[in-house]
Each structure stands twice: as C-alpha cells, then as structure tokens.
C-alpha cells in the first residue's frame, strides 16, 4: 500500500489529538461537563495520552516531547507556546496530507480508463465506515465480501462485493466486523490490485483480481 497506510492513518489520529479549545472558557466547560457526569477529567486525559503516546512521540518533533512526558499536552489549557507549535505542525501536516490526496487522485485518473466498471464504482462510491459482515470463497478464484453499509455514505444497506479472477488475496481470517476505512487501486499487469485499510482490527488487505461486481442486497 503506497498511500493510505496504517502509518498514514496513525499520523492522522495524532493530528486530531492536537485539536485544542479556542478559549480557556471552552476548556473549563469541557472539564465541568466530565465532572457533572461523575467522571474525573484528569483520568480521561491520562488514558487518552497513554493510548496515543507512542504515536505522539513518533510523529511529533522533539519540542513536543516534554509536554507528552509530563502530561500537559492534553491535561491543561495549552500555553501560547504549545498552541503555536501545534499550529505550525498542523499546517505542515495539512500540506503533506493534501499533497498525498492530490498525488493519488492523479494516479487514479491516469489508470481509470483501463479499470473495469466495478473498480471505478468501488473507488467513486466509497465503502468508508462500512462494516464487513461475511467473507466467502465460493469457487476457485472468487472472493465475496458482504458489507453492511448502514453507517456508510452511499448504499445504506448491505452490499455484496464479488471479486473474480482472484490471483492473490492477503486478508486475515478475523476480518469480520472490521470497518472499511480507505482504499487505493492499481493496475497489476492485466489485473487490478486493490489495497484496503481496515480498522478493528487495524489491518491492510491486498486483493489482486480481474473483475469486481458490487450488488445491493435487499
């Protein structure tokens, strides 16, 4: 997978972590809302930071590390210095993010005329946030995914995604229940190569195939 990798996704989550309240009043309102629910906000901040600590240290510059180690990255209202650092990093990240999307868009447009209609449909009617219900191999060279699209953006019902002429399928046995995040597509000789990033479990799937059909189920 060349674009929408697990590492790319992990850095995107770091970007979301650096979203701060605009004012100190908003910060205090958020803390009070936790307390009204009987929740210790500091414990929430501690757990959130611990969950993301590895990626924060990996993707953020050294200047952020003292805030990560002492917990003040997310446990107090940000200092002007921290906010300025975060704004600079976010601006750089957004530039790189947009450049990656533009690069993939150019790649896709360069191969679109050579793709089967189902591959174009898969790309342009995204399965983002849809959930795998079932995986089947009904015959040699065939792979069928039944996808719950109620939480998606296009179908709002179950769909059957059938790959034929499959020569390679790198897909874990426990993919049922996984959330379809992002996909990218390539030409591989006279076949099509699809990469999909799933969450829960976080995994990268590769399927090389000749054709694909997407059928809405009743």
- The per-residue pLDDT for 133 is 96
* Residue 1 forms part of a structural domain: no
Task: Assess if residue 27 is contained within a domain.
Answer: yes
Range of the domain at 45: 6-109
Positions of E strands within the chain: 130-136, 142-148, 158-164, 168-170, 179-188, 191-199, 203-209, 211-216
Alpha-carbon distances, residue 38 vs 13, 44, 107, 129 (angstroms): 27, 12, 51, 31
Model pTM score: 0.91
Pair (46, 102) in one structural domain: yes
Residue in the structure block whose two tokens are 């060349």? 2
State the DSSP string of 88-130.
HHHHHHHHHHHHHHHHHHHHHHHHGGGS-HHHHHHHHS--TTE
126 and 202 fall within a common domain? yes
The answer to whether position 56 is within a domain reads yes
pLDDT value at residue 6:
95
pLDDT for residue 140: 95
Rounded mean pLDDT of 182-206? 96
Model confidence over 79-126: pLDDT tens digits? 999 999 999 999 999 999 999 999 999 999 999 999 999 999 999 999
Q: Same domain, yes or no, for 124 and 171?
A: yes
- How far is it, in rounded angstroms, from Cα 135 to Cα 171? 10
CA–CA dist 13, 121 (Å, integer)? 28
Domain endpoint, select from 57, 86, 109:
109
Q: Which residue, of 75, 93, 109, is where some domain finishes? A: 109
d(CA 21, CA 30): 9
pLDDT tens figures, 37-69: 999 999 999 999 999 999 999 999 999 999 999
Q: Do residue 85 and residue 132 come from a single domain?
A: no
- Retrieve residue 187's tokens: 């030409």
């Amino acid at each position: 997978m060349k674009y929408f990798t697990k590492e790319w996704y992990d850095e995107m989550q770091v970007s979301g972590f650096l979203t701060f309240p605009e004012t100190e009043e908003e910060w205090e309102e958020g803390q009070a809302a936790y307390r009204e629910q009987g929740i210790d906000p500091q414990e929430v901040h501690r757990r959130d930071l611990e969950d993301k600590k590895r990626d924060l240290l990996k993707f953020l510059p050294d200047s952020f590390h003292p805030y990560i180690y002492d917990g003040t990255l997310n446990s107090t209202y940000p200092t002007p210095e921290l906010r300025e650092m975060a704004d600079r990093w976010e601006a750089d990240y957004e530039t790189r993010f947009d450049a990656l999307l533009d690069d993939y868009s150019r790649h896709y447009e360069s191969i679109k005329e050579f793709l089967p209609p189902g591959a174009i449909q898969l790309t342009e009617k995204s399965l983002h946030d849809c959930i795998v219900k079932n995986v089947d191999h009904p015959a040699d060279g065939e792979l069928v995914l039944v996808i719950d699209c109620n939480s998606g953006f296009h179908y709002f019902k179950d769909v059957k995604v059938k790959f034929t002429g499959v020569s390679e399928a790198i897909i874990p046995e426990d993919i049922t229940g996984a959330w379809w995040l992002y996909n990218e597509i390539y030409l591989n000789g006279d076949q099509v190569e699809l990469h999909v990033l799933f969450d829960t479990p976080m995994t990268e799937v590769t399927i090389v195939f000749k054709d694909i059909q997407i059928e809405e189920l009743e």
